[in-house]
Amino acid sequence: MRYFTSLFLYLGLCAILAAEPSHPIGVRSLDIPDIEAVVWYPSARDEPATLVADNPVFVGVRVVKGAPVLAGTHPVALLSHGYSGLWRNQAWLAARLAQAGYLAVSLNHPGTTFGDMDPSWATRLAERPRQLSRVLDALLADDDLASRTDPARIAVIGHSLGGWTALALAGGVFDPARLQDACGNSTDKMVCTVFRNGGMTKQTAVPDGRDDRISAAVLLDMEGIHGFTPGSLRELSIPTLALAAGIGDPALPLGWESRAQAKLLPAATSRYAEVIGATHFSFMSECKPGAEEILKEDAFICQGETAPRAKLHEEIASTVIRFLNAGNRLASALQSP
């Protein structure tokens, strides 16, 4: 791959060259059996506004519930949260996508969502990408939303385990034995512990999770690259963006995980960058003052960044939207791993 050396220089250029109109944000639920899903979309109505995804820990987003969808057709972005996460974790990104004209759909993944955790989830790894496909099915079957979607522009965006899900949906083939061999007896790498505790073995069968309707993929500090077969990664034909946290974490080794993505993803269709000042949790919602006291032993979710999370969100969203808007033409390369 060819890269710029500064992500911030690139992002500044993005802001100048790729400024998007900022639409009011409408929100409505999507009717899917056993799956909670929310659609964020551009609207012309900005009142009455209300806060969603807001709680004592995380900053919410101001939206208009049930507002009409802006006229015309819009690209789609499916958002997949991480292990034990919630659809609310990436509300900030869904909102920015909607402001830029996207229909963004976020969901709670049954079995790997906070409050709905299946101890043996990793024995049924195909369920996560299939859940996203079911959400897309529901969107395209919705009488009101289907006519507003552009079926040629459907992206998937995933954080952490959601990145694994996005890559599986994009066509990556996952072989549990490869990840087990790469992990060995490691007890310090989070991805190894999470998959092992979820019941995955070398013999775990993983049916194909690919969805041919997906036209682009974005991986946000993804975990699990060593389990994907090199052949399937070389054959990825859709644009794929991998954004990594620039601040290392012993449980999420930057060189072992994210920089391996830069080497394994095909140069012709992928781009990679490390977000300077970001931690693994910078891709979640902004923390409120006092959040660390509430979180207690989980306060690390709000700690460790060397730049304000709100600023990091603006930079991440700008990069993602520019990349998706470029389509097969791809935005300029980012930086060296």
**DSSP letter string over 137-203?**
HHHHH-TTTGGGEEEEEEEEEEETHHHHHHHHHHTPPB-HHHHHHHHTT-SS-HHHHHHHHTT--TT
Residue 205: C-alpha distances to residues 125, 251, 314 (Å): 8, 26, 39
Across 25-34, 129-138, 323-332, least confident range = 323-332
Chain centroid offset of residue 21 CA: 22
Report the distance separating Cα 323 and Cα 314, nearest Å: 14
How confident is the model over 32-53, as a mean pLDDT? Answer: 96
Q: Which token pair is 251? A: 């449980």
Best CATH choice for the domain 7-329 from the list 3.50.50.60, 3.40.50.1820, 3.40.50.880, 3.40.50.300: 3.40.50.1820
pLDDT at 15 over 90: no
95 to each of 22, 90, 98, how far by Cα in Å?
10, 9, 5
- Cβ–Cβ contacts within 10 Å for residue 157, how many? 27
Q: Which residues does residue 39 pair with via DSSP β-bridges, in sequence order?
A: 28, 105
- Taking the C-alpha atoms of residue 211 and residue 286, their distance in angstroms, rounded to an integer, is 32
Mean pLDDT of 256-280: 95
Q: Residue 5's pLDDT band (boundaries 50, 70, 90)?
A: very low
List of residues 6+ apart from 255 with CB closer than 8 A: none
- What integer pLDDT is reported at residue 17 of this predicted model? 39
Report whether pLDDT(16) > 90: no
> Count of CB atoms within 10 A of residue 4's CB?
15
Determine contact, residues 79/128, Cβ cutoff 8 Å: no
Question: Looking at the DSSP assignment, which residues form a beta bridge with residue 50?
Answer: 63
Which tokens go with 229? 């077969």
Instruction: Report the Cα 210 to chain-centroid distance in Å.
Output: 16
Rounded alpha-carbon distances, angstroms, from residue 3 to 241, 289, 290, 335: 13, 37, 39, 4
| CA-closest candidate to residue 104, choices 80, 84, 82 | 80
Q: At what angle do helices 127-141 and 161-170 cross, to 10 degrees?
A: 70
Structure tokens at 10: 């690139």
Residue type, 33: P
What is the pTM for the complete model shown? 0.93
Tens of pLDDT, residue by residue over 147-178, are: 999 999 999 999 999 999 999 999 999 999 99
- Token match 């009488």: residue? 143
Radius of gyration (C-alpha) of the chain in whole angstroms: 19
Contact between 243 and 166 under an 8 Å Cβ cutoff? The reply is no
- pLDDT tens, position by position, 69-118: 999 999 999 999 999 999 999 999 999 999 999 999 999 999 999 999 99
Residue 18 has pLDDT above 60, yes or no: no
Question: pLDDT value at position 277?
Answer: 97
Residues 6+ apart with CB under 8 A from 110: 34, 35, 116, 118, 127, 131
